[in-house]
Amino acid sequence: MVTFLAGGTGTPKLLDGAAGVFDPAETTVVANTGDDVELGGHLVCPDVDTVLFAGGGVLDTDRWWGVAGDTTATDDELHRLADAAGLEPGPRYLPESAQTAGRDIARWRRFSGVAEFMEIGDRDRAVHITRTSLLDEGDTLTEVTETLAEAFDLDVSLLPMSDDPVATLIHTDEGTMHFQEYWVHRRADPAVRDVEFRGAADATVTDDVADALADPVVVGPSNPITSIGPMLAIDGFADALADTPVVAVSPFVEDTVFSGPAADLMEGVGYDPSTAGVAEAYPFADAFVLDADDGTDLDRPVGRTDTRIDGPEDAERVARAVAEALAEVS
């Protein structure tokens, strides 16, 4: 049995070729939900859905977001209506009182659907409508995710990091904003001053996640701050990792990040934006897999390979290096 921690695109890309190394029937994926948002009344779980769509063979791998070949008729019409009515486009946060009132599933992360700032495809939207409706019917997010995984015929087990809402908020020199506003709307432009995982102090690890964390864990090359950080902020999560073998794949080659805003976010919260900084952020990791060109000297076992992942063959190569590292520390 093995458990992958997934957020952003790093770990899903690794999973794209991991089946040749790790038996999918014995693989669990715990997905970040810190960057979830409620948009127009529907709960959007981007990191859960990336794993869901990739495992279901429908992910748009050009963007690593949404469903391949999806139409956007509803999104287009939302923007046309807003323009015709003279309404300002998003992000449009709901009033402060509405951020915590009503559903518990989406506290501190509620946006109006007027001229929505995240493009949601029509098939993609059907997933969010189904998810939100099942939650309203009384299912937990874990139960809903299992239902959706069955609908997409996933080979691995997929779990949200918690059934409780955690919101990743980015404190910038232009004010505080949700991660999706910072990343999707502002394209990581504002300077980061700090990162907050609001709600993490009240969130709990589910029994399913606790069981998964008892198995050897792989932290893929995801963003340490906003993909893995929300999980570590939940009480007991990091402690569980300290008690089980953990191998992490660095998303850096020394001080060069493969993609995304990880460098700015790490620097913003006080870590060196580098492989050395990732090791500092992951004191629970027993070993690391680094790129062959990464000469960083760490205080833990290190395996090296070409860690760039551009397709399933690359992913399988990195997964084999991960398996070798796990064998060394297990």
- Across the range 279-291, mean pLDDT stands at 98
47 is in an annotated binding site: no
Domain limits for position 235: 2-35+47-56+140-329
Task: Give dist(CA 263, CA 289) in Å, integer.
Answer: 18
User: How far, CA to CA in Å, does 127 sit from each of 110, 130, 181?
Assistant: 18, 5, 21
- Across the range 287-300, mean pLDDT stands at 96
Q: Provide the pLDDT confidence category of residue 105 given band limits of 50, 70 and 90.
A: confident
307 in a structural domain: yes
Residue 260 has pLDDT above 90, yes or no: no
CB-based contact 125:220 (threshold 8 Å): no
Task: Give dist(CA 239, CA 177) in Å, integer.
Answer: 29
Q: Provide the pLDDT confidence category of residue 104 given band limits of 50, 70 and 90.
A: confident
132 in a structural domain: no
Q: Which residues of 176-206 are buried (b: 16+ CB within 10 A; e: fewer)?
A: ebbbbbbbbebebebebeebebbbbeebebb
Q: pLDDT tens digit string along 128-177? A: 999 999 999 999 999 999 999 999 999 999 999 999 999 999 999 999 99
- Which domain CATH number covers 12? 3.40.50.10680
276 in a structural domain: yes
244 in a structural domain: yes
Report pLDDT for 330.
86
CB-based contact 226:265 (threshold 8 Å): yes
Q: pLDDT tens digit string along 263-276? A: 999 999 999 999 99
Q: Report the share of the chain in percent with pLDDT over 70.
A: 100
Residue 87 has pLDDT above 90, yes or no: yes
User: How far, CA to CA in Å, does 196 sit from each of 51, 206, 226, 230, 294?
Assistant: 24, 22, 9, 9, 30
Nearest by Cα to 29 from 135, 144, 149, 125: 149
188 in a structural domain: yes
Number of other residues whose CB lies within 10 A of the CB of residue 56: 17
Q: How confident is the prediction for the chain on average, in pLDDT?
A: 95
Q: Provide the pLDDT confidence category of residue 178 given band limits of 50, 70 and 90.
A: very high
Q: pLDDT tens digit string along 194-244? A: 999 999 999 999 999 999 999 999 999 999 999 999 999 999 999 999 999
Q: Provide the pLDDT confidence category of residue 66 given band limits of 50, 70 and 90.
A: very high
How many domains are contained in the chain? 1
Q: What's the burial of 100, exposed, middle or buried (CB within 10 Å: 0-12/13-18/19+)? A: middle
Residue 103 has pLDDT above 90, yes or no: no
Cα 205–Cα 29–Cα 146 angle in degrees, nearest 5:
80
105 in a structural domain: no
Q: Is 14 helix (H, G, I), strand (E, B) or coil?
A: helix
Task: Give dist(CA 54, CA 299) in Å, integer.
Answer: 35
Q: Report the share of the chain in percent with pLDDT over 90.
A: 94
